[in-house]
Structure 1
Amino acid sequence: MTPPELDRKSALFLDLDGTLLEIAATPEQVVVPPGLPSLLAHLHHQLEGAVAIVTGRPLAQTDELLRPFSASAAGEHGVSLRYADGTREELPAGIAVPSAWREELEAAVQRWPGVLVEPKPHGFAVHYRLAPEYGNEVWRLVRQLVPPEHPWFHLVPAREAVEIGLRSASKGHAVERLMAHAPFHGRRPIFIGDDFTDEAGMRKARELGGIGLRVAEVFGGDPANVRAWLMEGAQRLDGRSASSIPTGVTP
């Protein structure tokens, strides 16, 4: 599959880890290419603000990674939304993962060297990328904590990780909510992601007349190719060569 050409009516919804950034051993070890924030800011200007980061990370953490770029965004797989005017929305408000679950998992990882618990404002993730041999034990425990019929929380599989998140939120819901507001409304959504949690965002983009692109299928599984495509799109939108893009804007 060939990625589409960006045009002035596009709206970009971009996952972060595994899509814009290479996956790292731990969430804290990701490396942000120096030119990425500038590239995103340039596209944000070209598309009149219709660029959103839709990620499993909390919004504050995302902003810190991409500083000084900040725009519309969805954090924790759609639990937290930020609109173009800065308005924030929590979906739903006032629900947090029971502390007893977190305490039980944190006690368990003491027996599993290399397994990490990543706390988030509305949930948490358990990463076993550094210790895949414990994957089955991790899943056995989280399934005991969160049965399939739980009314508020569910298990979200990820790349060598599992997240306990809110059942009512998804990246698809985030795309739908953002597309209902300016500057996204009336545009063609393009959602790019690499993981299971991105599938809902891709489906919603297609439902709304756009397209969902999997990094593995369209970009060879390489975030550098996603960044290169974004750079090419920025050049095409401006009708200029790479040397015309502002200094520091490189993939």
Structure 2
Amino acid sequence: MAIPAIEDHWAVFLDLDGTLLDLAPRPDAVVVPTGLIATLEGLVQRLGGAVAIVTGRARDVADTLLAPLMLPGGFGHGAELRDGAGRIRTIDTIPAMPADWAPRLAAEIATWPGVILETKPHGLVLHHRAAPQWKDATRDVLLALLRGHDDDFTLMPAHMAFEIRPRVATKGRAVRALMQAAPFHARRPVFVGDDVTDEDGMEAARALGGLGLHVGRDFHGGPAQVRAWLAQPEARHAAP
């Protein structure tokens, strides 16, 4: 489908890595492109603050990347929310991640050159972008870690990575929660994402009468195409 121009009555929900930011060999090596912050500032002003970041990244990491902006959103796949008033809350039912998981994984991958362990407040990720030969091994070691914890945690594929996250933490849940209050309430939600972890966010937006847009399927490109789309406030055609 043709990507509709942004409408003033929308509420826009944006993934970070692979959507706003180009993917990098390491999660700490992403680069914030020149002009992105100004583009987001303009979008926030135009939509009355109804712009949110919904990302697997921790809140402090997202804030550092997008400084000085501190946008509303769902962080850690929605495990933590920041509403339009800046209030922060964590899902009440979020399970505590076992304390031994990160050190166990660090020891396991010590002899797997190129595999990177990323720890998050409510989950963890093994990246194999620089070592694709370890793809199956990274998945298998995480599945072994999950045994006995399947009710609380799940394994998700991502771009050249596998991630353990709490089952109750989803981007769809973040969208639904944020849409209940200002400045998002009564607007048309539009979620833009790029991978499997974004699909439930897209579905939540569609269920609320909005759009779920996929970077690869709908923009036919990458984050550069998304950034260019966000930077065109003058186009105001009716959305389908």
For normalisation by structure 1, the TM-score amounts to 0.91
Task: Name the structure 1 match of 2:66.
Answer: 66
Question: Which letter maps to 2:84?
Answer: A
Q: How does 1:186-201 map to 2 (within 5 A)?
A: 186-201=186-201
* 1:165 corresponding residue in structure 2: 165
Equivalent AA in structure 2 for residue 41 of structure 1: E
State whether residues 114 and 130 of structure 1, in contact with CA within 8 Å, keep that contact through their aligned partners in structure 2: yes
2:94/2:168 contact within 8 Å kept: no
- Cα displacement string for residues 25-83 of structure 1 (whole angstroms, at most 9, x for unaligned residues): 01111110121111101110110010001111001100100111222111111101000
Between the two proteins, the alignment pairs up a number of residues equal to 236
**Aligned residue number for residue 118 of structure 2:** 118
- After superposition, the C-alpha distances for 1:70-120 in whole angstroms (9 at most, x for unaligned) are 221111111010001011110136632112221111011111100011011
Alignment partner, residue 56 of structure 1: 56
Does the 8 Å contact 1:96/1:123 carry over to 2?
no
Give the TM-score normalised by structure 2. Answer: 0.95
Task: Choose 88-97 or 69-78, whichever is displaced more.
Answer: 88-97
Structure 1: runs of 5+ lacking an equivalent:
238-251
Query: What SS does structure 2 have at the residue aligned with 1:77?
Result: coil
Contact kept, 8 Å, 1:38 with 1:69, in 2: the verdict is no
Q: Is the counterpart of residue 109 in structure 1 residue 109 in structure 2?
A: yes
What RMSD over aligned residues (CA atoms) do the two structures have, in Å?
A: 1.4
Alpha-carbon shift at residue 7 of structure 1 (Å): 1.3
- Structure whose residues are more often helix by fraction: 1
Task: Name the SS of the counterpart of 1:156 in structure 2.
Answer: strand
Identity %: 46
Q: Check whether the contact 1:148–1:154 (CA below 8 A) recurs between aligned residues.
A: no
| Equivalent residue letter for 1:82 | R
Give the letter for the 2:234 counterpart. Q
**2:101 & 2:24 partners in 1: Cα distance?**
26
The letter for the 1-side match of 2:153 is F
State the Cα deviation string for residues 179-214 of structure 1 (Å, max 9, x = none).
011111111111000010000000000000001011
